[in-house]
A and B are shown apart, each in its own frame.
Chain A
């Protein structure tokens, strides 16, 4: 499904180490199953040769991880799919990542598989899986099954906002473009609901939350050193939603805090063990910003000033 295959990335990674462009390379190591590659940092060509892979299950966005990684000495190379580069730009803008410490190789992307969706389709154990020519083939105890990509792609990929890399040192794929795949359709549908129905929709979705904090921890826009929801002196550090109010409080505060900075990378919804469509909250904010302040895409360029922290005479609230 991915445009560059594992071998091409391996060769590139080895080359970047050998010609001393970087000191280490971030990528994926093969997992135990077909779909669970581990993010890994490679220091030598041998390690790369032995362990590095890349396929349609390599979904994690590496940008946030660079916040910590760039505090270490040396330079690190990372392969990035288009959506990752928006998060990266946003983090560079917020001075969380030092550009001189990274080397970004942009790789093409046809989308990543959502294993939960896939599991629903197979209904039995996933023994092997491989992506090829627009289809995913899965080996199960009941025989092989083949699915078209559209059936198993992650939601964020079905409505991918852009195949364009907005940051890179080198592009391994052809340059590409922003896409319009109707990512606001669902938000617009929800807007048309009655206030009660809308409230009920979000109440019922958010009531599933187990407050594992994975959405926050994976979110590239959530980079506070200490989160108010993890700090006992704040009085709001409860792990569990003690009541319905807290349940919503966490998500609403989070959505407000990332408003204007959320690039719609989709990590929150990807990691949520309860399958809560968190992206809908964030997309509503994005759509509103577009309407009130003109179309704005967080992370499009380094150094942009988000409309919510900028003040202009033309702002609707002036």
Chain B
């Protein structure tokens, strides 16, 4: 394990930034939202809380070109977007967001592998930062996330210092930078970790969601409570677009000067034309769409992949303009458990 003073974090990040493309959480002033950006001059870093936008977009961007079609001299050609090589570093990721990557892996790295996602995943060295200041909307602990330890390297901030523990082979790549600024240590920080875990587990959202529905599709699908829960859903894409595990996308071709570009971009099951076919959208009303999003996270994903499709980041809880969020769903489905037994 490595230890450096709080003041030398800048020196460490600058050292990393010299060798790798480095992304850190930033917030530009009180009125702005926080998100991951290039380290740049290291100004405006935001390390105290979870960011408004997560790390998903560094692996699965909202919009990306996947191929180009070109016609030149009467010949037609397809050019797939080249994958980039080399590593980059993401510092300050939260454990929930990193767990989110695990859910994306189950989708994008399953056959047929998504080459663009895979290349970014292989390139990304993720340094987590422990959550000293969880939000009332945090409920990661309900999904077995450890807010004090995650990623390729786990950084933990204590009163005077940062500790870095290397957790994976990829994490070892940063040993030169770590050794240039930090000292090795065998301090025992387990007690600090326990404090962080305990604090997160006591957040109101974590307490409210501790009984996750453990029911099958059939038992939850037709519950009347979906009407009530979805009644004021606007059908916007806020919850989907901010969610670290939402992975649906659409593909669109558009004309370019010499052919066409094929882009894929995030889609949302909350939209009225999601998976629209010639016969229409299979989920006719907002109730069905709403139910899809939450059942997917809490039931289908678990049935199909073995883990929940929610990681408890609380973003949809904070940002839903109608407050029709995950905690309310979990609680209502929990009551359904009572009704059934």
Contact = CB atoms under 8 A, between A and B. Distances in A.
A231 B240 CA distance: 19
Given A38-B323, A239-B250, A32 B331 contact: yes
A190 interface: no
Nearest to B328: A32
Contacts, number: 125
Interface string A89-102: 00000000000000
Contact of A32 (B199, B208, B231, B273): B208
Size class of the contact patch on chain A: 35 or more
B304 interface: no
Interface in A208-224: 208, 210-214, 216-218
B252 interface: yes
B235 interface: yes
B273 A230 contact: yes
A292 interface: no
Interface in A172-202: none
Contact of A273 (B33, B135, B232, B325): B33
Interface stretch (B119-127, B157-165, B189-197, B264-272): B264-272
| Chain B interface, DSSP helix/strand/loop, else mixed | loop
| Chain A interface, DSSP helix/strand/loop, else mixed | loop
A141 B133 CA distance: 9
A32 B327 contact: yes
Nearest to A123: B48
Contacts of B272: 230
A135 to B, nearest CB: 20
B328 A38 contact: yes
Interface string B316-331: 0111011111011001
Nearest to A213: B236
Contacts of B49: 123
B285 to A, nearest CB: 11
Interface residues of B, number: 54
A120 B86 CA distance: 37
Interface in B217-274: 228, 231-232, 234-238, 240-242, 250, 252, 254, 263, 265-268, 271-273
A274 B322 contact: no
Contacts of B30: 117, 120
Interface stretch (A8-16, A78-86, A124-132): A124-132
Contacts of B240: 212
B323 A31 contact: yes
B33 A33 contact: no
A315 interface: no
Contacts of A256: none
Contacts of A150: none
A201 B51 CA distance: 23
A36 interface: yes
A159 interface: no
Interface string A251-274: 000000000000000000011011
A309 interface: no
Q: Top 6 closest A-B pairs, CB basis?
A: A240-B265, A271-B321, A214-B236, A240-B63, A36-B323, A217-B234
10 contacts: A38-B232, A125-B203, A212-B241, A212-B268, A214-B237, A217-B235, A230-B273, A239-B266, A240-B62, A273-B33
